[in-house]
Amino acid sequence: MKRSKVFIILAVVLTLSMIFTGCTQDASPEQDTSSGQETPPEQEAPVGQETPSDDFDYDKDITVVARDAASGTRGAFHEIMEIIQKEGDTEVDKLVVGALEFDGTDKVITAVEGDLYGIGYISLGSVSERIKAVAVDGAEPSVENVQSGAYSVSRPFLLVTKGTENDLVRDFLDFTESVQGQEITNDMNFIGIVESPVEYTSSGMSGSIKVAGSTSVAPLMEKLQEAYQELNPDVVFETQAQGSSQGINAAMDGSYDIGMASRELKDEEAAELNRYVLAIDGIAVIVNKDNPKSDLASEDITNIYTGGITKWSEVK
C-alpha cells in the first residue's frame, strides 16, 4: 500500500515538471512573458547618430589613410577638404606626418577594412560592403546627392588626348559618350554628363589603343573597353593604371593614346591636351565597418587629415 502511494506521488511530480518545462519553452525569448507582446526589434541609428559599439575605444589614435602624391583622387580630395593650403604664393599639401599613403584604391580599402580606427577616401563607385562610407555634413554619399549638389565632395573623371586623335581613338571616345557608354557609366554609380546620347553602331575597325592613368577611372574604363570590344572584336587595348599624373604625362608625351585623370587639369596641362569629361564621381570618406561614426563634419575631416584631430574622442 505504502509503495503504491509513493508511485502515485512520483507520477504527479513528474507530470507537473513536464507541464512546467513545456510552458517555459513556449515563451519566446523575443517576447515579454508578462504581457505576451513581442519586444520591438532594434532600430538602426539614423544618419548623424552613432551606432553603439562595445569594442570601440574613442581614445585610440585615428589611423589616417591617404592616396599617393600621383593620385588624382588625392589631388581632388585634398583640394576640396582644404588639406592643400596656401603658404604665400605656394600651395602646400598639409597631410599629417605619419599618414599611410597607398598607390591604389583597393589598397586604401584593405587598409581601412583591417583597422578599426582607420579613415580613408575612395571613389564613390568603388564603395563596397568591405567598409562603411559616412555622410559628410549630414549628406549621404550617393549618386542622387552628388547630382543635386547636396554631397559636395565630387570631381570629374577625364579622358585626355594630345593633338588630333586617329580614327580609332575618336571612335572609342564616341562610344563612351553613346547611349551604351552612358548606361555603363550610370550602372557603375558614376554620373554620365551627356544630355542626349546617341546609339552607337559598330564601326568594324581594328587596331590597338593605349590607355594609362587613374586607378579610380580604371574600373569604369575596363567595362567600357569590354563593351566596345564586343562590338569591335578586332580592337585591342593596352592599359596601365598608375595614377592620374602618369596618364596625363603619357598623353602629353605621346607614349599613350588616352590618359585617364580623376582631377582637373592644371593650366599648363590644359594648354597641351584635349579634355573630355567621362563622368562625375563622388569621393566617399570611408571608415571601418565597426566604427560607430556615420556622419562627419567636413571641418573635422580636414583637421583629421592635417593633424588637428588625432583621436576619435575629439570628433564632434
Tens digits of residue pLDDT in 231-287 = 999 999 999 999 999 999 999 999 999 999 999 999 999 999 999 999 999 999 999
Per-residue exposure over 93-106, b if at least 16 CB sit within 10 Å of its own CB, e if not = ebbbeebebbebbe
The model's confidence at residue 17, banded by pLDDT at 50, 70 and 90, is low
| Domain boundary assignment for the chain | 63-155+284-314, 156-280
The model's confidence at residue 288, banded by pLDDT at 50, 70 and 90, is very high
Q: What is the mean pLDDT of residues 37-58?
A: 56
Q: And the C-alpha cell for 254?
A: 605621346
Pick the CATH number of 63-155+284-314 from 3.30.2080.10, 3.30.70.120, 3.30.470.20, 3.40.190.10: 3.40.190.10
Instruction: Say how far apart CA 302 and CA 133 lie, in whole Å.
Output: 17
Whole-number pLDDT of residue 316:
85
Whole-number pLDDT of residue 172:
98
Q: What percent of the chain has pLDDT over 90?
A: 78
Say which CATH superfamily domain 156-280 falls into: Dipeptide-binding Protein; Domain 3 (3.10.105.10)
The model's confidence at residue 11, banded by pLDDT at 50, 70 and 90, is low
Whole-number pLDDT of residue 277:
95
Instruction: Say how far apart CA 17 and CA 235 lie, in whole Å.
Output: 80
Mean pLDDT of the chain: 87
Instruction: Report yes or no: 211 and 257 within 8 Å, Cβ to Cβ.
Output: yes
Within the chain, residue ranges assigned H as helices are 2-26, 72-80, 105-113, 143-148, 167-176, 179-187, 218-231, 244-252, 267-270, 298-306
Task: Judge whether residue 44 has pLDDT over 60.
Answer: no
Instruction: Say how far apart CA 256 and CA 240 lie, in whole Å.
Output: 10
Q: Are strands 37-38 and 100-102 parallel, antiparallel or unpaired?
A: unpaired
Whole-number pLDDT of residue 41:
46
Residue 42, Cα to own-chain centre: how many angstroms? 27
Q: What is the pLDDT of residues 126-140, one digit of tens each?
A: 999 999 999 999 999
Residue from 245, 184, 177, 168 nearest 212 by CA = 245
Instruction: Report yes or no: 216 and 262 within 8 Å, Cβ to Cβ.
Output: yes
> In terms of pTM, does the model score above 0.85?
no
Instruction: Say how far apart CA 254 and CA 101 lie, in whole Å.
Output: 29
Task: Judge whether residue 216 has pLDDT over 80.
Answer: yes
Whole-number pLDDT of residue 31:
44
The model's confidence at residue 18, banded by pLDDT at 50, 70 and 90, is low
Instruction: Say how far apart CA 127 and CA 260 lie, in whole Å.
Output: 20
Whole-number pLDDT of residue 111:
98
Whole-number pLDDT of residue 227:
98
Instruction: Say how far apart CA 94 and CA 247 lie, in whole Å.
Output: 25
